[in-house]
């Protein structure tokens, strides 16, 4: 049966590709690439001459039928510009369509920014959450971060370099300036950088040194305070969650675990 291969490609250094990925790219009948010009650099480097077709964010729905027709005739390798297709890159719709049509879908392990950033961040890696790209607009960004503020595991997100300082400002406002963060920049490339410290420290650094390149932001998870929260702090946390659309019951349960209060006490507060 023809197979749709999900093939990770290097996020920087062209050597960060597996032998299996190279074999699949050579043996497939077609490569569906996010940007054929970008992918041609990789394919030329390894002398791979498999035909390519473009499959990107703006044509992915229009090309589903053509991609399924291609699968009927042989194996298709799905690649993005860099990293693993489907992780904040085109891929989900084609993968879902191939599964629904009864084709075999085979994922290859390989390059991505999330795991290298996590293991080198110095933040706990036993529990983590990847949340994609942080919203661009200030109000949506603040609401997004409020929803994550009580997560116990390390939070991982992608961000644009020109929004990084604003995002670090928002993290400091919502989660506290002392929350530990790491900014991983240009992973596996010539100017790879890991900037670790409190949110305030890292924000000040990038305010003075505007960043470039691909950015991954990692935020330390929340930890319960040793002393119970003040009524004012609990009331403000409850207000924010209720304004965000959370039920009073769910908000009270989440806050109680962090604040050292009972769920009943939090639930009963006027806001």
Mean pLDDT of 54-66: 92
Secondary structure E strands in 52-148: 52-54, 76-79, 104-107, 128-133
Structural domain spans, the chain: 3-107, 114-219, 231-267
* Predicted confidence (pLDDT) per residue in 7-44, tens digit: 999 999 999 999 999 999 999 999 999 999 999 999 99
User: pTM of this prediction?
Assistant: 0.81
Span 114-219 CATH architecture: 2-Layer Sandwich (3.30)
184 pLDDT band (50/70/90 cuts)?
A: very high
* 3-107 CATH pick, 3.40.50.720, 3.30.70.1380, 3.40.50.300, 3.40.1010.10: 3.40.1010.10
Q: Quote the radius of gyration of the chain (alpha carbons, Å).
A: 22
Q: What CA–CA distance (Å, rounded) separates 213 from 231?
A: 43
Cα–Cα distances (Å) from 185 to 84, 181, 201, in that order, read 18, 13, 16
């Amino acid at each position: 049966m023809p197979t749709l291969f999900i093939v990770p490609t290097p996020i920087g250094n062209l050597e960060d590709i597996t032998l299996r990925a190279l074999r699949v790219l050579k043996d497939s009948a077609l490569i569906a690439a996010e940007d054929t010009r970008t992918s041609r650099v990789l394919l030329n480097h390894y002398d791979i001459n498999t035909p390519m077709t473009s499959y990107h964010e703006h044509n992915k729905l229009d090309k589903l039928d053509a991609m399924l027709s291609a699968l009927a005739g042989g194996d298709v390798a799905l690649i993005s510009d860099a990293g693993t297709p489907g992780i904040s890159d085109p891929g989900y719709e084609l993968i879902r369509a191939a599964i629904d049509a009864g084709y075999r879908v085979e994922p290859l392990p390989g390059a991505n920014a999330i795991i290298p950033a996590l293991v080198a961040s110095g933040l706990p890696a036993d529990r983590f959450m990847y949340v994609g790209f942080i919203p661009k607009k200030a109000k949506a960004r603040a609401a997004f971060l409020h929803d994550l503020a009580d997560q116990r595991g390390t939070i991982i997100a992608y961000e644009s370099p020109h929004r990084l300082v604003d995002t670090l400002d928002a993290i400091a406002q919502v989660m506290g300036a002392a929350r530990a963060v790491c900014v991983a920049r240009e992973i596996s490339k010539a100017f790879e950088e890991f900037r670790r410290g409190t949110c305030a420290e890292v924000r000040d650094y990038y305010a003075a040194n505007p960043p470039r390149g691909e950015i991954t932001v990692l935020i330390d998870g929340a930890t319960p305070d040793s002393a119970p929260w003040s009524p004012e702090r609990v009331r403000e946390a409850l207000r924010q969650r209720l304004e965000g659309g959370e039920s009073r019951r769910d908000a009270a349960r989440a806050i109680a675990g962090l604040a050292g209060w009972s769920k009943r006490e939090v639930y009963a507060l006027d806001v």
